[in-house]
């Protein structure tokens, strides 16, 4: 039933979108800004204390700015209760998709899982645990396919007492980690167990811990042998890495995102290392489980990188390897000061002698032939001798020691820089940049969600840095950047690509193509 009630003098409630134990969500219109929003009316049990806690939690969630986390616009009080105003996602929950359309193919499940892993990583970096990751809380935008993690209603937020800490268990047992089920202290790793169960549900239709009673579910989660469904197929190494009963042995969110993105975008299956053990049964006698063999994650990720690169080239596709991390957007490395301006150039500022990118007649053997490139791309040979595949129409600009290529609308920018190797590895350099960016005087306004990942490029050790910041000083909004750094032939190469935060998937895809096709 619809309603014409107005909350806080500006949010006119419409139809009810859903109702749960923690609150009711309404579609609404923000009459001040003339936009559609979702408004969550929280159900409180103990009055003023619950109100204060809910407000702290909502404000904490508003700090998370990530493309796969629901955006919190406002927190208001009405009739002594808090109402959380969020973005309205036009789509269905994963639970609805599974119920109405059936299970997802493994590659689509990987895409969804990678997005959720990225959202959890961003939340955990702010000290926030979701604690209710399940298909009903994952939304899929019907137009763009964007994946959004929502409903942080029982999240653990720094400085706030959570519902479970008052003595009540809340959550969805089929997706609840065993340490939480047993009442033990639970950290961010408990969200990753839930992600493992969600991946199983995405390809099989339901959690592997489904039971007829709460007792059966508890037994399945805490004691029984864990048998992922056959439908997980190529996702089995990731599922096994997540459904580890020992939280310390679970796969990290950044690793999960790396593997799932690569598989989703290329179809190259994550390898199953011979050292990956079956998920162990809990020992009733308190004995120790077999120790995890060292290097498992490194071998999985390294094997993935080699497999995907080979598969991408051999299969004639340039939509390739994404090994998570990113962006040397507008700065040099530790040995070089950042440029004096980060604003995009105007048309008149571009050198009049600079010609648009040209297609090479005879691309290097390591670069896919033009017919193998994604539609709308062509191979560009820069005047400095290197080549790369970029979308048609991108225009060159040189700001020594950097070379940029801009999209026609100046929304996207590819950058390249060559310099002598510095001290330490490529990872050391990127890690140093990440640390510097987090400082009060870092080169990026609003720097956040920075992650540096070890990977390889052309057989050499490399580092990938991914981050978000508030964008150029003269406007344009937040940006997402992907940056790869490696040393080859005694030279340090650095390539990066950035774009608007709300177009992260295109930025990532274009960067992946550039990474695969870049030839020094």
pLDDT digits (tens, 9 = 90+) for 391-412: 999 999 999 999 999 999 999 9
Q: Measured between alpha carbons, how far is residue 442 from residues 192, 254, 331, 434, 447 in Å?
A: 31, 23, 10, 9, 8
Tell me which residue of 58, 245, 210, 68 sits closest to 139, measured CA to CA. 68
Q: Which CATH superfamily is domain 6-87 in?
A: Phosphorylase Kinase; domain 1 (3.30.200.20)
Which CATH architecture is the domain 91-160+169-314 placed in? Orthogonal Bundle (1.10)
The yes-or-no verdict on residue 324 having pLDDT over 50 is: no
Sign of CA dihedral 175, 179, 183, 185: negative
The span from the CA of 389 to the CA of 387, in Å, is: 7
What pLDDT shows up at residue 52? 66
Instruction: Return the CATH number of the domain spanning residue range 347-517.
Output: 3.40.1000.10
pTM value is 0.56
Please give the pLDDT value at position 352: 30
For residue 184, the model assigns a pLDDT of 81
**Higher pLDDT among residues 268 and 411, named by residue:** 411
What is the sign, positive or negative, of the torsion defined by CA atoms of 8, 10, 16, 21? negative
Tell me the pLDDT band of 375, cut-offs 50, 70 and 90. Answer: confident
pLDDT at 70: 84
- List Cβ neighbours of 51 (8 Å cut-off, separation of 6 or more): 44, 77, 80, 81, 82
Top pLDDT among 479 and 293 is at 479
Express each pLDDT in 41-84 by its tens digit: 877 665 555 666 666 667 767 778 788 888 888 888 887 777 88
Residue range 442-456, pLDDT digits in tens: 889 999 888 887 888
Average pLDDT of every residue of the chain: 76
Show contacts of 103-109: CB within 8 Å, 24+ apart.
Answer: 103/202, 103/203, 103/204, 103/205, 103/231, 104/202, 104/203, 105/203, 106/203, 106/231, 106/232, 106/233, 106/234, 106/235, 106/263, 107/263, 107/264, 107/267, 108/202, 108/264, 109/199, 109/202, 109/203, 109/235
Q: Could you give the C-alpha distances from 188 to 110, 117, 138, 194, 289, in angstroms and in order?
A: 21, 11, 18, 11, 22
pLDDT confidence of residue 518: 94
Confidence of residue 381 (pLDDT cuts 50, 70, 90): very high
| Burial classification of residue 185, based on how many CB atoms lie within 10 Å of its CB (0-12 exposed, 13-18 middle, 19 or more buried) | exposed
**Which residues does 502 contact at the CB level (< 8 Å), separation at least 6?**
67, 477
* Residues belonging to the active site: 132
- Compute the average pLDDT of residues 335-352: 34
Give me the residue label for tokens 């009049």. Answer: 352
Per-residue pLDDT, 319 = 27
Check for a shared fold between 91-160+169-314 and 347-517. Answer: no
For 165, residues 6+ apart whose C-beta sits below 8 A from its C-beta are none
CA 130/CA 61 separation, integer angstroms: 10
**What is the percent of the chain with per-residue pLDDT over 90, rounded to a whole number?**
37
Please report, for the chain, the start and end positions of each structural domain, with discontinuous segments joined by +: 6-87, 91-160+169-314, 347-517
pLDDT single digits (tens) 79-138 = 777 788 888 888 899 999 999 999 999 999 999 999 999 999 888 888 888 888 999 999
pLDDT at residue number 492: 94
Work out the average pLDDT over 198-204. 97
């Amino acid at each position: 039933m619809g309603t014409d009630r107005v909350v806080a003098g500006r949010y006119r409630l419409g139809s009810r979108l859903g109702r749960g134990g923690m609150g009711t969500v309404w579609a609404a219109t923000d009459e001040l800004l003339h936009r559609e929003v979702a408004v969550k009316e929280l159900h409180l049990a103990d009055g003023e204390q619950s109100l204060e806690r809910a407000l702290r939690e909502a404000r904490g969630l508003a700090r998370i700015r990530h493309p796969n986390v629901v955006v919190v616009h406002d927190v208001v009080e009405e009739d002594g209760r808090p109402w959380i105003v969020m973005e309205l996602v036009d789509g269905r929950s994963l639970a609805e998709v599974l119920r109405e359309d059936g299970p997802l193919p493994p590659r689509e499940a990987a895409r969804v899982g990678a997005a959720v892993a990225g959202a959890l990583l961003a939340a955990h970096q702010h000290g926030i645990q979701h604690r209710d990751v399940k298909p009903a809380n994952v939304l899929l935008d019907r137009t763009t396919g964007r994946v959004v993690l929502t409903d942080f209603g029982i999240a653990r937020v720094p400085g706030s007492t959570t519902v479970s800490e008052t003595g009540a268990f809340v959550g969805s047992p089929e997706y609840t980690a065993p340490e939480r089920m047993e009442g033990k202290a639970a950290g961010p790793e408990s969200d990753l167990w839930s992600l493992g169960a969600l991946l199983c549900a995405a390809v099989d239709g339901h959690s592997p811990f489904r039971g007829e009673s709460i007792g059966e579910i508890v037994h399945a989660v805490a004691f029984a042998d864990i048998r992922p469904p056959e439908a997980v197929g190529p996702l089995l190494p990731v599922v096994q890495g997540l459904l580890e009963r020992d939280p310390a042995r679970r796969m990290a969110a950044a690793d999960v995102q790396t593997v799932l993105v690569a598989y989703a975008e290329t179809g190259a299956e994550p390898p199953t290392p011979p050292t990956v053990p079956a998920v162990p049964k809990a020992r009733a006698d308190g004995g120790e489980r077999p120790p995890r063999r060292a290097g498992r994650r490194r071998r999985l990720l390294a094997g993935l990188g080699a497999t995907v690169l080979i598969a991408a080239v051999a299969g004639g596709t340039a939509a390739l390897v994404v090994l998570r991390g990113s962006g040397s957007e507008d700065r040099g490395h530790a040995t070089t000061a950042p440029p004096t301006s980060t604003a995009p150039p105007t048309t008149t500022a571009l050198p009049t002698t600079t010609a648009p990118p040209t297609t090479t007649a005879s691309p290097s053997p390591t670069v896919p032939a033009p017919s193998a490139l994604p539609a709308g791309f062509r191979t560009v040979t820069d005047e400095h001798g290197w080549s790369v595949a970029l979308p048609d129409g991108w225009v060159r600009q040189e700001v020594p020691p950097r070379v940029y290529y801009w999209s026609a609308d100046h929304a996207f920018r590819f950058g390249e820089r060559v310099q002598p190797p510095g001290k330490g590895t490529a990872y050391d350099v990127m890690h140093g940049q990440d640390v510097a960016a987090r400082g009060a005087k870092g080169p990026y306004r609003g720097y956040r969600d920075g992650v540096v990942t070890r990977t390889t490029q052309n057989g050499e050790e490399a580092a990938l840095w991914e981050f978000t910041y508030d964008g150029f000083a003269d406007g344009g909004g937040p940006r997402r950047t992907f940056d790869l750094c490696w040393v080859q032939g005694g030279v340090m190469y650095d390539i990066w690509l950035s774009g608007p935060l709300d177009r992260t998937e295109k930025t990532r895809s274009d960067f992946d193509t550039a990474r695969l096709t870049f030839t020094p």
